[in-house]
Amino acid sequence: MWGTGGGPDKTILLGAARTDRRRFAVTVCYLRDVRDPVYGIDARAAQLDVEYVEIREQHSFDPSVWQQLRNLVRERAIDIVHSHDYKTNLLALLLARSERIVPLATAHGWAGHTRRERLVYYPLDKRMLARFPHVVAVSGQIRAELARRGVDEQRVSIILNAIDHRSFMRRPEQREAARCGVALDRDDEVFAAVGRFEREKRYDVLLEAFARVARERPRATLLLAGDGSLRAELETHAARLGIARRCRFIGHRPETVSVYCAADLFVQSSDNEGAPNAVLEAMALETPVVATDVGGTSELVADGVHALLVPRRDPGALARAVSLTLADPQATGRRVAAARQRVVHELSFDARMAALESIYERLMQQRNAGDQKAGVLGWA
């Protein structure tokens, strides 16, 4: 694992914190590359008070990792190894051969930006997932993709990503402080985007859409929270479009609540998504959502009910949806209220954990463990 983590890491850590500790002893394990200068998962795990272990690797194919993992499984009497990406999926399958554990995988999607991931790792990962006794897919689209690759649909459960709606709750007094924190004026019209600056997020499309909106709205400001390999390229693109002064690149934010509270609108411009946590956070914090209709986004929100959805790679459509959101505050308010209710009642973390814990129990029953307390290793 590199960096400070993204949406899946929030799900992993909060899931461990919310698991019923009377029934499941969860250890969160991360493979940490020692070359990474900005790794931050450990700090987030400490804040949530989860049982956390990291195994340090000198490089991506460090063989010493294997024995450390076997020792961890034995020392902690692990019953289920719950993996979350192609590397840990492989290791979970190997552990199932050498130790008496049950492997479980969550498929978050395959939105990597490197050629090797697209052409080698992701196809291999889908083949590996066919060997798991059970797989959790975070959207129906991911489940359909697994079925196309030979995974038995009977062994795939859809559990949409969820959010802790109690922690993500907008308070009126937050807006002014959030805007002051990023040097925004009270009357600026603020559009926010949150995510990695990588190709699949298509921030180039977002910048082109914003340039169209900015011509008609002199107080429009674009707030970009995140970082990645394309940051310099995007800054150059903003300058080329003549909007550099109205775009704020504020870097990665471990806590994003202030970003949504500062914003009048959240915009997602992605080409591909699993079940985007950024959309869930905007819904919970009552920030209007305009998003591309990709991946599992339409499973989180219904167009015209909770958000406005547009085709991908269409800056004109994105700009029109943004303008419509601002021009009709009554309709926007109804969508915002409906989105908040959806995360409270249907996409809450409590509901997600109940569904996941039922899978843990079923896997243990299949292993004839009865009602014993299960040891779970969740890792990435």
Q: Name the strand (E) or helix (H) holding 349.
A: helix 349-366
Query: Rounded to 5 degrees, what are φ and ψ at 20?
Result: -65, 105
**CATH placement of domain 7-162+348-379:** 3.40.50.2000
Residue 344 in this model has a pLDDT that exceeds 70: yes
CA 209 to chain CA centroid, Å, is 24
Q: For the whole model, what pTM was predicted?
A: 0.87
Torsion, CA 283, CA 194, CA 140, CA 295, rounded to 10: 120
- pLDDT confidence tier of residue 4, bands split at 50, 70 and 90: low
7-42 confidence digits (pLDDT tens): 778 889 989 999 999 999 999 999 988 888 778 888
Cβ contact 166:302 at 8 Å:
no
Torsion, CA 188, CA 194, CA 196, CA 198, rounded to 10: -60
Cβ contact 225:192 at 8 Å:
yes
Provide the pLDDT for residue 357. 96
Which is higher by pLDDT, 333 or 372? 333
Distance CA 61, CA 209 (A): 42
Among the ranges given (44-48, 74-78, 285-289), the one the predictor scored with the smallest mean pLDDT: 44-48
Provide the pLDDT for residue 2. 55
Residue 173 in this model has a pLDDT that exceeds 90: no
- pLDDT confidence tier of residue 379, bands split at 50, 70 and 90: low
Q: Domain 174-345 adopts which CATH fold?
A: Rossmann fold (3.40.50)
- pLDDT confidence tier of residue 69, bands split at 50, 70 and 90: very high
- pLDDT confidence tier of residue 172, bands split at 50, 70 and 90: confident
Q: Where in the chain is the domain with CATH 3.40.50.2000?
A: 7-162+348-379, 174-345
Distance CA 373, CA 365 (A): 12
Provide the pLDDT for residue 300. 97
Average pLDDT value for the chain: 92
Provide the pLDDT for residue 231. 96
Provide the pLDDT for residue 380. 62
177-226 confidence digits (pLDDT tens): 999 989 899 899 999 999 999 999 999 999 999 999 999 999 999 999 99
